[in-house]
Amino acid sequence: MPTSDLSFLNLVLNASPLVQLVMATLVLASILSWTMIFDRSRVLKRAQRRADDFEDRFWSGGDLADLYRRVERDRDDATGLAAIFHAGFREFARLRESPGIDPAAIVEGARRAMRVALSREMDYLETHLNFLATVGSTSPYVGLFGTVWGIMNAFHALGNVKQATLNLVAPGIAEALIATAMGLFAAIPAVVAYNRYSNDVVRLESRYDDFLEEFSNILQRQAHVAAHRG
């Protein structure tokens, strides 16, 4: 039976089962999105902070072997630049012990190890971003589907009455439009967060890549010095 009570809760409770399922899906998507938004915010801020700290230590002029040993002690907690440095220096030290190996081969091996570490770091930073993109792109359409279905039901119900009035059709249309509103409520934060975090990830990737190239140059100089001394 149509009701004149147009409160939000009443409209949701009196919606058709399919529209209620759409609403529940959008609420769940919104909750998951906000959970991932807060998680990515924490992860990316920590990654930027740790990159700053490691670059300060790396460019302080200290011995790279000492820095490697410090990173090795906290290996389980090494992420970002520290993980890339650890992978590169470990491979560099291992290859340098091989007799008769060309300096270029040593540097190339270290570079490959750092590329693998960089790929792992980027996979970690990009976690959940695809979900945010999916929610942002599909939620409005899911909400629109619920709206269309609700409006269809509202007009279908008019066929069972002799005289159509606004009071009869208004609750059905109102409850249907809630689905569209909930779709937008789920989509907008997800889109904003995805765009912002994607930009942060790209900037971190560029920063990691720049460090990789700079560190490769340092290793190349060290490899040639060691070769000439040998």
Whether the per-residue pLDDT at 47 is higher than 50: the answer is yes
Print burial letters for 175-197: b (CB count within 10 Å at least 16), e (below 16).
Answer: bbbbbbebbebbbebbbebbeeb
Please report which confidence band the pLDDT of residue 153 belongs to, taking 50, 70 and 90 as the band edges: confident
**Per the confidence metrics, is the pTM higher than 0.85?**
no
Q: What are the DSSP calls for 8-53, one per residue?
A: HHHHHHTS-HHHHHHHHHHHHHHHHHHHHHHHHHHHHHHHHHHHHH
pLDDT, tens digit (0-9, with 9 covering 90-100), for 58-113: 998 888 999 999 999 887 788 899 999 999 999 999 998 877 788 889 999 999 99
